[in-house]
Structure 1
Amino acid sequence: MRRRLRILAVGGAGLAALGAVAAPAGAAGAGPEADLAYHGAVSLAGGRVDVRFTPRNHGPSAVPDATVRLRWSAPLAYGQVLPAGCARSGAQAVLCEVGALAADDLGRPVRLRVLLRGAPSEVLLETDTAWSGGSVDRNRQNDHQRVLVLDTGDEYYF
């Protein structure tokens, strides 16, 4: 993923140096349109956060590969083991592979448990698409979620 971002940054700098202008999102060649969404539940108890969600592609096109970013308002504890397909991305974020998603279909459920430093009494969880395999998502309302989670052990749905 870092290599993809590096290539995009270098390529973008090269285009800017040549005076090129990026095409608008609706222009031809901007990539197929897909509408990604993530719905699930999150709970917090004693610094332990349990997250489960199911990705969905509302279409109209398939997504060849997708990655979701989960960010917490508190830093993650050191030395924890994440499930396969997930990796830390800084002090407060995790990236999880979603994989390919057919149009108008559900992906495989994702379950994740993380420990937060200092056992906060509340935490804000933000989710959004970090990578969509070149697909364009014109409805960012349902793939970007913000959930305030209190340290009660109760589930909060998004």
Structure 2
Amino acid sequence: MRVTRSAVLTKSAAAAMTVAVVLGPGLSAVAEPAPREVASAPEGIAPKGIAPEADVSHHGHVSLEGRRLGVLLRTGNRGPSALEDVTVRLRFSEPLAAGQRLPQGCLRSGSRTVLCGTGALPVAGKARRTTVVLGLAGQPAEVVVRVDTVWNGGASDRNPQNSTHEVLAPSTGDAYVF
């Protein structure tokens, strides 16, 4: 008698695997391991090994008067997962003046870019506020400011439209909302 083997793998609802081995004509054996218990994560945190999902949003306003550029930014998280930190990138169409002091949690990343960390963003919690006042190298008639999320801890965001903005701010001193 010749023995042949073939294995069939199937997924069950508990993610256990079933292996069927064909031993010969009319003979087979099926081994099913006991289902593993899946540990649940604390509320608002994705289980280990699964990327969290979070809806980060940025809103605020930009104002330009002479060489002074102000950005008020409110960053929130609509969930479903909480985030430990988010890094927001502010990019400017005009170069920034050298030697400026930035708010705590912010740093320069080139002549036209500033990065700011928001800190923890709980689900549906109060938005984190970041205020940046910058001097420009020149005195432009207008500045384009681009706001986006650079890092969010690896979370997926199915609604990135509310975390990416481009604002034109003429040098009027008025606040242009995004």
Q: TM-score range by the shorter chain?
A: 0.7 to 0.9
Separation of aligned partners in 2, 1:128 and 1:136: 14
Deviating beyond 6 angstroms after TM superposition, the runs of 4 or more aligned structure 1 residues are: none
Report the equivalent of 1:110.
Answer: 130
Unaligned runs of 5+ in 2: 1-47
Matched letter for residue 52 of structure 1: L
| Aligned-partner SS, 1:76 | coil
1:1-158 to 2 correspondences below 5 Å:
29=49, 31-158=51-178
Report the equivalent of 1:4.
Answer: none
Q: TM-score, normalised by structure 2?
A: 0.71
Matched letter for residue 108 of structure 1: R
| Aligned-partner SS, 1:142 | helix
| Aligned-partner SS, 1:60 | coil
Q: TM-score, normalised by structure 1?
A: 0.79
Aligned residues: 131
Q: Root-mean-square deviation (CA), in Å?
A: 1.4
| Aligned-partner SS, 2:160 | coil
Bigger shift: residues 102-111 or 58-67: 102-111
1:76-96: per-residue Cα shift (whole Å, max 9, x none)?
Answer: 111111111110011100001
Identity of aligned residues (%): 50
Contact 1:54–1:106 at 8 Å: present in 2 too?
no
Separation of aligned partners in 1, 2:160 and 2:152: 12
Separation of aligned partners in 2, 1:152 and 1:107: 28
Unaligned runs of 5+ in 1: 1-27
Higher strand share: 2
Separation of aligned partners in 1, 2:110 and 2:93: 12
